């Protein structure tokens, strides 16, 4: 297709094949103009004739180029060209020196809790930035998580991402993504959202901690059915309960019961790392899952056990479930009624129903702005970013937070961050020429038209050196064609 050593657009020299996927191949390459190593993703030639695939590939360049975050692999360039009778489309990206999480898991099988939480935290921070920009990745998986040799984790391949505010590029019902990390709503052909990325990252975390995938089967269809209707086996009992609870909520079947976006997941991971209890998950809702359609093998254990249950046992379970639901409903009503009572100080329920969010400036100053933005959004606040020119603080670090103290949920917090000052060079002042006075009676060399001869060598102000009159050289002068 694109052999080693080929030069794309007279600039990018393909050197070694790094990876091959469903849409194309990724090459290690060299930018011959900027003299730096890069990664070049070349779309498969059999797809370049398909307008839908080509639009999707262009969208990867457009969407990812808008995302600037330490945990997102940067996009440098995009191009399309015709060479040797074939249509090529390519994407030039930041080259991450290291390995993918898929390679690490193939070698180590299971990762410890600190390593897993570090990887999940970095990925959640990247997704928080993408979701804030309205971009959904839609294909989070170990192969798209790159582990740099410097310890930095980066998400790559937004090739099937699309802006949540734009018209989808795929046809309705078309399933895109890897089945092992596909959210239930994607498996059903529904529109993917930020919570879909949360589910996929939860499945990645499960695989890191358990040493196996949450669901596996003989075909993608079978795995997709399991994503919709089955629950994964419990994580190993030797893991902290807070970690298992984090993964369970991230992989909830109902998107409304998951962390809603990358920012919320990032905040939850920080809570686990810091040993804080974190936010309580949404109230569980009773759902009746349909039986698997005929002809599909690999029905889940939970569905099979329900099918074997006797009608009487099923009726008892339904009755107990209904009683439990009634008790929860009654408790909620009691709490709700209590919250409506007027306190002794005369405050109304509206004034006491929703406590403010504490914002402490010291918690955010001198931190990366993208990280602070994601954390504040995850806490339920809106963020307005304001750049401030300064040479005293590293670029991108937060320099100010306003307001501080108790902020109402959904309130706007202004985050000021440092940007390098723009150095404006002083204007170059060119002094006006000084005219020398001419004394009367001075013997001047003149041309035929009466003007002073510009080539005169008198007093050394001609093109010669003064001694040579109006000649160009005396042996020390350069020839006409000699460059300075």
Q: Which residues are catalytic?
A: 139
- DSSP letter at 355 equals P
Let me know: does 369 contact 257? Beta carbons within 8 Å: no
Considering only CA atoms, which of 67, 221, 222 is closest in space to residue 154? 67
Structure tokens at 219: 């075909």
Residue given tokens 């930095």 in the structure block? 152
- DSSP letter at 2 equals -
Strands 98-100 and 382-389: unpaired
Considering only CA atoms, which of 238, 241, 257, 272 is closest in space to residue 121? 272
Let me know: does 357 contact 407? Beta carbons within 8 Å: yes
Query: Helix 113-132 to helix 241-250 angle, to the nearest 10 degrees?
Result: 30
Structure tokens at 13: 């020299």
Q: What are phi and psi of 7, to 5 degrees?
A: -105, 115
| Bridge partner residues of 90 (DSSP) | 42, 79
Rounded CA gap, 375 and 364, in Å?
Answer: 9
Residue given tokens 């086996």 in the structure block? 233
Residues 6+ apart with CB under 8 A from 170: 52, 56, 176
| Bridge partner residues of 43 (DSSP) | 24
Rg (C-alpha) for the chain, rounded Å, is 34
Strand (E) positions, 106-203? 135-136, 145-148, 153-155, 162-163
Let me know: does 369 contact 381? Beta carbons within 8 Å: no
Q: Is the dihedral of CA 238, 242, 243, 246 positive or negative?
A: positive
Enclosing H/E stretch for 436: none
The overall longest dimension of the chain from CA atoms, in Å, is 133
Considering only CA atoms, which of 356, 365, 363 is closest in space to residue 390? 365
Considering only CA atoms, which of 205, 248, 18 is closest in space to residue 110? 205
Strand (E) positions, 251-362? 357-359
Let me know: does 14 contact 5? Beta carbons within 8 Å: yes
Q: Where are the alpha helices (DSSP H) in 413-483?
A: none
Considering only CA atoms, which of 71, 77, 64 is closest in space to residue 29? 77
> Residue 350's Cα: distance from chain center in Å?
38
């Amino acid at each position: 297709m694109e052999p080693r050593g080929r030069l794309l657009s007279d600039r990018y020299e393909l050197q070694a094949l790094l990876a091959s996927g469903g849409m194309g191949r990724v090459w290690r390459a060299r930018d011959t103009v900027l003299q730096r190593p890069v990664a070049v993703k070349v779309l498969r030639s059999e797809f370049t004739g398909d307008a839908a695939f080509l639009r999707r590939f262009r969208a990867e360049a457009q969407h990812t180029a808008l995302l600037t975050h330490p945990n997102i692999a940067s996009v440098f360039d995009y191009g399309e060209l015709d060479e040797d009778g074939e249509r090529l489309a390519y994407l030039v990206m930041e080259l991450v020196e290291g390995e993918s999480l898929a390679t690490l898991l193939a070698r180590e099988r299971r990762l410890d809790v600190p390593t897993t939480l570090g990887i999940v935290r970095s990925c959640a921070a990247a997704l928080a930035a993408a979701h804030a920009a309205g971009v959904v990745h839609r294909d989070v998986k170990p192969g798209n998580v790159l582990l740099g040799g410097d310890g930095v984790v980066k998400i790559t391949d937004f090739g099937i991402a699309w802006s949540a505010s734009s018209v989808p590029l795929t046809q309705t019902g078309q399933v895109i993504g890897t089945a092992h990390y596909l959210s239930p709503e994607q498996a059903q052909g529904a529109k993917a959202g930020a919570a879909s990325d949360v589910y996929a990252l939860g499945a990645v975390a499960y695989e890191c901690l358990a040493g196996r995938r949450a669901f596996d089967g003989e075909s993608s269809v079978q795995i997709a059915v399991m994503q919709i209707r089955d629950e994964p086996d419990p994580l190993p009992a030797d893991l902290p309960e807070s970690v298992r609870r984090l993964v369970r909520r991230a992989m909830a079947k109902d998107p409304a019961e998951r962390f809603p976006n990358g920012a919320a997941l990032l905040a939850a991971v920080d809570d686990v790392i810091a040993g804080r209890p974190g936010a309580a998950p949404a109230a569980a809702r009773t759902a009746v899952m349909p039986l698997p359609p005929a002809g599909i093998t690999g029905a889940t254990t939970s569905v099979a056990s329900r099918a074997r249950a006797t009608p009487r046992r099923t009726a008892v379970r339904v009755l107990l479930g209904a009683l439990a639901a009634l008790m929860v409903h009654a408790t909620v009503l009691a709490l709700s009624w209590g919250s409506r009572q007027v306190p002794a100080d005369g405050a109304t329920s509206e004034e006491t129903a929703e406590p403010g969010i504490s914002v402490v400036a010291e918690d955010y100053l001198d931190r990366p702005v993208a990280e602070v933005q994601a954390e504040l959004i995850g806490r339920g606040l809106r963020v307005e970013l304001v750049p401030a020119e300064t040479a005293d603080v590293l670029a991108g670090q937060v320099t100010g937070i306003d307001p501080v103290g108790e902020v109402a949920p959904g309130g706007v917090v202004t985050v000021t961050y440092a940007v390098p000052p723009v150095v404006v060079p002083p204007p170059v002042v060119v002094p006006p020429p000084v005219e020398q006075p001419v004394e009367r009676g001075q013997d001047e060399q003149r041309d035929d038209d009466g003007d002073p001869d510009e080539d005169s060598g008198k007093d050394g102000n001609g093109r010669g050196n003064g001694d040579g009159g109006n000649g160009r050289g005396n042996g020390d002068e350069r020839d006409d064609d000699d460059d300075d």
